[in-house]
Amino acid sequence: MAEKSHVPWLSIVLAGLLAFVVSMAVIAVVMAGYAFALAMQAQGAPDPHRIAAFANRVIPILGPLVLSLLVLFAARRVVRRPKFPQLWHGGLVGVVAALPTLMFMRRPGLADVVALLLPPASGLLGAFWGVSAGGRSRARET
């Protein structure tokens, strides 16, 4: 009798959402750090226009990169856990992580589409990394 492959849906959804939440926290910390640095420099209240300019310049680049990096590690972790890992599990982690980003988009441009495709691609890369590393560790156990 053939064994059924079990899809770890709970792990996929939790890893994707956790990657999204942690990436938002990293962005908030970067913004708070920049505002704090401006406040220390001005020895008073920071200039909100400089903070907004920093956010408009840095966050569109930093956000997708941090999310993709976190998805890479989350997908690796999800794929290493089950008995029969599949590469598409990592892609699903990236899709779940990218879906909440759609809430923040009004009119997506080319950069936004690329930012939406980065997490699933890094999820596949993380899954490949997890499967290849998992295969080596399972070979050592036997």
Looking up tokens 């959804």 gives 13
For residue 139, the model assigns a pLDDT of 44
Q: What is the pLDDT of residue 1?
A: 40
Which pLDDT score is estimated for 92? Answer: 94
* Spans of all domains in the chain: 9-141
Predicted confidence at residue 2, as pLDDT, reads 47
Predicted confidence at residue 117, as pLDDT, reads 93
Per-residue model confidence (pLDDT) at position 8: 86
Q: What is the pTM assigned to this prediction?
A: 0.84
Burial group, residue 18, by CB count within 10 angstroms (0-12, 13-18, 19+): middle
Ranges under pLDDT 50 in the chain: 1-2, 139-142
Q: For position 4, what pLDDT does the model report? A: 58
What end-to-end distance do the CA atoms of the chain give, in Å? 23
pLDDT score at 142: 46
Cβ distance 16 to 101 under 8 Å?
Answer: no
State residue 135's pLDDT score.
55
**pLDDT attached to residue 73:** 96
